[in-house]
């Protein structure tokens, strides 16, 4: 599976190269496979043997007193009493190793800290349908929130546009590494996503506050359908031309490029939606145009349609307990995640994800999962920790299309792992060590002397000087 992905990535890269070389009129007009390719590189680091950990694999299994070997950016071996060889040995007795945590709903970089107009770039709220915009072009890599998220064990995240629009633009998957450009964070080979929103936000921003469509729920749905009717025709035109590229290529349209790729299955669909009835309507819209919704985000009422979501194999990306800020968030229950998880359908089991949508929440998604797990258990459901960890790792990886590379501790996968100081389902537990592609990216015992963010660098210069003056 992994080899396949690398092959895909290589193909993408070579297509890009060809396009960049200007191999003729056709390719200059046709969409470039990836105009903003990843430049992410993994720093060289030696092999690491994590010895004697409790391993929650993300595959519903718990391996006690187990060794995990990381080498060449991959998980090389999982087992008992592995030979260290030349690996750096980490004694992990009493600590828990999990796959790196993946947040499928982040606005880090696009709504960074501090929250000022200059960098608040998450919503292109000038038209209700803007599939032409890409969240990555709003990312400010100096957002201090990336570093604090890493301290919470976040190794990858999907950064999405906001939810003002019916179709808000493309989201992007990044590895949570310090970088000067966003391209240097891009998860190689990961699909982009499209962010859609139902409910109150679009009709408020445009109808109530903007005096134009949509101003109602029905206006919202008409908006998605109108966009996908155009996209269907556009896709047909381009697919025909791609098959037989004769004559002048069709006119390109950035917005329809995105939606056509949704229809082709090249882009995952992430829908902000709270109410049960509206989610089912969105499933119908998806069916009408032949695309699949990867996940409903926020989905405070997902528990009401847990079985329907399982049948559609659409995940619920949820908070543990946020509620009440809007009427569509009024029917929250603490058991939402556990109920979505517990659902069963012919198509498969339910898929629950803990997400943050918040620079503070992303720092402790493990605690949010713990709250949801505890609430589910109290309601009488059986939820072992080795299962609940999947809400933070395997399921998010599946929803954003990177499960073949990360999300579980399996030999051959990318070495994105977190060693926790204790049980990750505790408020007192912290991430001790975080590896991304086998490179140590957080060591709590040895914090860096200066912040990763250029923006914060020197913010405390006078206080540091004052403290130095106090020294004997």
Partner 1 sequence: MTRTEPMKSRTRQLTLNLIAAALLAGAGAASAAVTAIRNAQVMTVAGAGTIERGTVLIRNGRIEAVGADVAIPEGAAIIDGSGKVLTPGIFVARSELGLKEIDAVDETNDVASRQSRYTAALDVTDALNPRSALLPVNRIEGVTRTLTAPETGKGGGLFAGQGAIISLAGALAEPGAFVVRPRAAMFAVLGEQAKGIAGTSRTSSIAAFREALEEAKSNGLRLGSGLSNDAQLSALDIEALRPVLTGETPLVITAHRASDILAALKLADDYRLRLIISGATEAHLVAKELAAARVPVLIDPTRNLPAQFEGLHARPDSALILRKAGVVFAFVDSDDKGTHNARNLRQVAGIAVSCGYPKDQALAAITLQPAEILGLSTVLGSIEAGKIADLVLWDGDPLEVTTAATAVWIDGVPMPMISRQTLLRDRYLQRIKAADVK
* End-to-end alpha carbon distance in the chain: 59
Among 148, 220, 356, 405, binds partner 1 (CB under 8 A): 148
In terms of phi and psi (left: phi > 0; alpha: psi -120 to 50; beta: otherwise), the region of 471 is beta
Q: Are 400 and 294 in contact (CB under 8 A)?
A: yes
CB of 300 to partner 1, least distance (A): 11
For partner 1, the binding residues in 301-330 under the rule CB under 8 A are 303-304, 306-307, 321-327, 330
Rule CB under 8 A: say whether 387 interacts with partner 1: no
List Cβ neighbours of 252 (8 Å cut-off, separation of 6 or more).
Answer: 29, 31
The site for partner 1, by CB under 8 A, has a size of: 54
Residue 75: C-alpha distances to residues 32, 48, 404, 413 (Å): 33, 10, 13, 6
Rule CB under 8 A: say whether 115 interacts with partner 1: yes
* C-beta closer to partner 1: residue 76 or 342: 342
C-alpha to C-alpha distance for 223 and 255, rounded to whole angstroms:
14
Among 5, 113, 183, 313, binds partner 1 (CB under 8 A): 113
69 beta partners: 49, 77
Torsion of CA 298, 304, 307, 312, to 10 degrees: -40
Among 50, 59, 227, 332, binds partner 1 (CB under 8 A): 332
167 beta partners: 129, 196
Q: Are 13 and 37 in contact (CB under 8 A)?
A: yes
Rule CB under 8 A: say whether 331 interacts with partner 1: yes
CB of 119 to partner 1, least distance (A): 12
Rule CB under 8 A: say whether 232 interacts with partner 1: no
CB of 459 to partner 1, least distance (A): 5
CB of 339 to partner 1, least distance (A): 5
* C-beta closer to partner 1: residue 213 or 456: 456
Q: Of 159, 59, 151, 147, which is closest to residue 99 (Cα–Cα)?
A: 59
Q: Are 32 and 19 in contact (CB under 8 A)?
A: yes
* C-beta closer to partner 1: residue 108 or 415: 108
* C-beta closer to partner 1: residue 12 or 381: 381
Rule CB under 8 A: say whether 81 interacts with partner 1: no
* C-beta closer to partner 1: residue 12 or 456: 456
Opening angle at CA 419, ends 416 and 425, nearest 5: 110
Q: How many CB atoms lie within 10 A of CB 423?
A: 16
- Which stretch in 61-69, 97-105, 338-346, 391-399 sits in contact with partner 1 by CB under 8 A? 338-346
169 beta partners: 195
Q: Are 64 and 49 in contact (CB under 8 A)?
A: no
Rule CB under 8 A: say whether 457 interacts with partner 1: no
Rule CB under 8 A: say whether 459 interacts with partner 1: yes
Which string of x and - marks every residue 432-451 that binds partner 1 (by CB under 8 A)? Answer: --------------------
Rule CB under 8 A: say whether 208 interacts with partner 1: no
Cα radius of gyration (the chain): 23
CB of 100 to partner 1, least distance (A): 20
C-alpha to C-alpha distance for 18 and 39, rounded to whole angstroms:
17
For partner 1, the binding residues in 116-145 under the rule CB under 8 A are 116, 144-145
C-alpha of 377 from chain center: 27
Q: How many CB atoms lie within 10 A of CB 22?
A: 9
For partner 1, the binding residues in 11-70 under the rule CB under 8 A are none
Which string of x and - marks every residue 344-383 that binds partner 1 (by CB under 8 A)? Answer: xx-------------xx--xx--x--xx-xxx--xxx---
Q: Which residues bind partner 1 (CB under 8 A)?
A: 113-116, 144-145, 148, 200, 204, 303-304, 306-307, 321-327, 330-335, 339, 342-345, 359-360, 363-364, 367, 370-371, 373-375, 378-380, 425-430, 456, 459-460, 463
């Amino acid at each position: 599976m992994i080899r396949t992905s690398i092959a895909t990535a290589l193909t993408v890269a070579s297509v890009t190269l060809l396009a960049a070389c200007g191999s003729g009129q056709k390719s200059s007009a046709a969409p470039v496979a990836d105009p903003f390719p990843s430049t992410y590189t993994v720093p060289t680091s030696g092999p690491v043997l994590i010895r004697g950990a409790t391993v929650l694999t993300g595959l519903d299994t718990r391996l006690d007193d187990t060794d995990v070997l990381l080498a060449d950016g991959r998980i090389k071996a999982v087992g008992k009493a592995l030979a260290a060889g030349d690996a750096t040995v980490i004694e992990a007795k009493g600590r828990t190793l999990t796959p790196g945590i993946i947040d499928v709903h982040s606005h880090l970089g696009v709504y960074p800290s501090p929250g000022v107009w200059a960098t608040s770039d998450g919503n292109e709220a000038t038209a209700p349908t803007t599939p032409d915009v890409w969240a990555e072009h709003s990312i400010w890599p100096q957002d201090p929130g990336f570093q604090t998220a890493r301290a919470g064990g976040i190794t990858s995240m999907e950064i999405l546009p906001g939810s003002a629009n019916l179709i808000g633009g493309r989201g992007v998957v990044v590895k949570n590494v310090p970088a000067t450009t966003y391209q240097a964070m891009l998860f190689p080979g990961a699909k982009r996503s499209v962010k859609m929103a139902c409910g109150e936000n679009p009709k408020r921003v445009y109808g109530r506050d903007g005096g134009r469509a949509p101003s109602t729920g029905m206006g919202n749905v008409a908006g998605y359908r109108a966009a996908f009717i155009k996209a269907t025709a556009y896709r047909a035109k381009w697919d025909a031309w791609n098959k037989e590229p004769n004559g002048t290529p069709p006119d390109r349209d950035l917005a329809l490029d995105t939606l056509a790729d949704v229809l082709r299955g090249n882009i995952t669909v992430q829908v902000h939606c709270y109410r049960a009835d509206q989610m089912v309507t969105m499933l119908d819209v998806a069916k009408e145009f032949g695309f699949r919704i990867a996940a409903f985000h926020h989905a405070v009422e997902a528990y009401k349609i847990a079985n329907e979501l399982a049948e559609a194999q659409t995940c619920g990306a949820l908070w543990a307990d946020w509620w009440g800020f809007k009427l569509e968030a009024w029917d929250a229950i603490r058991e939402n995640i556990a109920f979505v998880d517990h659902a069963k359908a012919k198509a498969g089991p339910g898929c629950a994800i803990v997400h943050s949508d918040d620079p503070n929440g992303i720092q402790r998604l493990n605690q949010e999962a713990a709250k949801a797990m505890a609430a589910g258990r109290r309601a009488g459901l059986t939820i072992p920790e080795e299962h609940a960890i999947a809400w933070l790792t395997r399921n998010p990886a599946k929803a954003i299309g990177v499960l073949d590379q990360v999300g579980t501790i399996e030999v051959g996968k990318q070495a994105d792992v977190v060693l926790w100081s204790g049980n990750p389902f505790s408020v007192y537990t912290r991430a001790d060590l975080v590896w991304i592609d086998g490179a140590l990216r957080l060591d709590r015992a040895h914090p860096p002397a200066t912040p990763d963010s250029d923006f914060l660098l020197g913010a405390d210069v006078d206080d540091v000087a004052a403290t130095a003056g106090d020294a004997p």
